């Protein structure tokens, strides 16, 4: 059984946003995309997919809509549109985001990228790395870092990829936090607590979406790159998220769905999730999901930009296995 899975993050009126350069989908294009899906696919619920892995057939051309990170966009923009259409979205908020008291590093990076010129940010990052090298942190020389990590992908330039990798996973964790905070203050300069309350859905909003038929899944506690964590670290990250979301009655602890932050996973993590009641896991690999042959805890997803009206990349990227 084949399933297309669409992945979204920010969905907003970009032109009227304070951060029009944020990597997101404009509201009008989102509506057009849903019209395309309604005409060419059958939008299914997560419950349909959970039933399908037990043998209940999916309709032809099934597509599942997934929304990562729990942004206020999802409650204020996406949810009303889906509710009016009578279709379901599956939402994966981070717990710290729902708590509204902290701006996650991943979002500091997003909005720093949306506020600074690529060249200015790249130069500032290199300068910070050079400043800290050898003082407290053991960091490879800059030329080696650039050669190893400044490589473009299908969405971003080599400079943007370098910035993201350095600040999300490559540099030592303590240094990443120091540099991310400094760059956010330099290029964005907004109070973090105020920013966080505006950016994320709170627990009540997530619960409201669930009451109206939306599906809520797990995206971790702090939005960590789970594949890079030690055993005790990823277990703590997942268990804290499960405890919170279970206590808020947002998930079924015996049959829940995981969405890997930044698509990062490891084999030992997958086995831990399997023994913890996880039934489906969602990655960021761009491909069609085959529920009969894929590892169910590693299902691929297409980005919103892979579908019309943005592109028809989903047709080119599909590789049936």
Distance between CA atoms of 158 and 151, rounded to whole angstroms? 4
Following DSSP, what letter does each residue of 7-28 receive, concatenated? EE-EEE-GGGSS-TTSSEEEHH
Question: Using omega within 30 degrees of 0 as the cis cutoff, is the peptide bond preceding 232 cis?
Answer: no
Query: Along the 321 residues of the chain, how does pLDDT read in single tens digits?
Result: 899 999 999 999 999 999 999 999 999 999 999 999 999 999 999 999 999 999 999 999 999 999 999 999 999 999 999 999 999 999 999 999 999 889 999 999 999 999 999 999 999 999 999 999 888 888 999 999 999 999 998 889 999 999 999 999 999 999 999 999 999 999 999 999 999 999 999 999 999 999 999 999 999 999 999 999 999 999 999 999 999 999 999 999 999 999 999 999 999 999 999 999 999 999 999 999 999 999 999 999 999 999 999 999 999 888 765
Portions of the chain given CATH number 3.20.20.370: 2-100+200-317
**What pTM, to 2 d.p., does this model score?**
0.95
Q: Would you give the DSSP letter of residue 71?
A: B
Following DSSP, what letter does each residue of 198-252 receive, concatenated? HHB--HHHHHHHHHTT-EE-B--SS---GGGS-HHHHHHHHHHHHHHHHHTT-S-
Supply the pLDDT for residue 134. Answer: 82
2-100+200-317 CATH fold: TIM Barrel (3.20.20)
Supply the pLDDT for residue 320. Answer: 66
Supply the pLDDT for residue 136. Answer: 82
Q: Check: CB of residue 4 under 8 Å from CB of residue 302.
A: yes
């Amino acid at each position: 059984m084949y399933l297309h899975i669409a992945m979204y993050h920010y969905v907003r009126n970009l032109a009227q946003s304070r951060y029009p350069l944020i990597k997101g989908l404009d509201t009008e294009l989102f509506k057009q995309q849903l019209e395309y899906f309604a005409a060419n696919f059958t939008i299914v619920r997560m419950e349909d997919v959970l039933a399908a892995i037990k043998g209940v057939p999916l309709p032809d051309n099934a597509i599942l809509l997934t929304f990562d990170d729990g942004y206020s966009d999802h409650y204020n923009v996406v949810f009303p549109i889906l509710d009016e259409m009578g279709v379901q979205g599956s939402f994966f908020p981070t717990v710290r985001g729902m708590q509204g008291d902290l701006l996650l590093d991943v979002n500091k990076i997003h909005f720093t990228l949306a506020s600074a010129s690529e060249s200015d940010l790249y130069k500032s990052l290199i300068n910070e790395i050079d400043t800290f090298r050898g003082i407290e942190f053991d960091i490879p020389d800059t030329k080696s870092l650039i050669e190893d990590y400044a490589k473009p992908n299908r969405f971003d330039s080599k400079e943007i990829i370098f910035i993201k990798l350095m600040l999300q996973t490559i540099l030592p964790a303590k240094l990443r936090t120091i540099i991310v905070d400094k760059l956010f203050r330099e290029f964005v300069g907004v109070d973090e607590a105020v920013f966080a309350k505006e950016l994320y859905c709170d627990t009540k909003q997530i619960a409201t979406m669930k009451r109206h038929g939306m599906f809520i899944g797990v995206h971790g506690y702090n939005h960590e790159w789970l594949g890079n964590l030690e055993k005790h670290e990823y277990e703590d990250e997942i268990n804290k998220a499960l405890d919170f979301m279970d206590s808020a009655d947002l998930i079924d602890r015996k049959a829940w769905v995981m969405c890997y932050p930044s698509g990062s996973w490891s084999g030992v993590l997958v086995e831990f999730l399997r023994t913890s009641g996880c039934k489906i896991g969602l990655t960021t690999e761009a491909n069609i999901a085959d529920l009969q042959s894929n590892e169910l805890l590693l299902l691929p997803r297409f980005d919103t930009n892979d579908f019309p009206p943005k592109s028809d990349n989903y047709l080119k990227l599909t590789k049936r296995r």
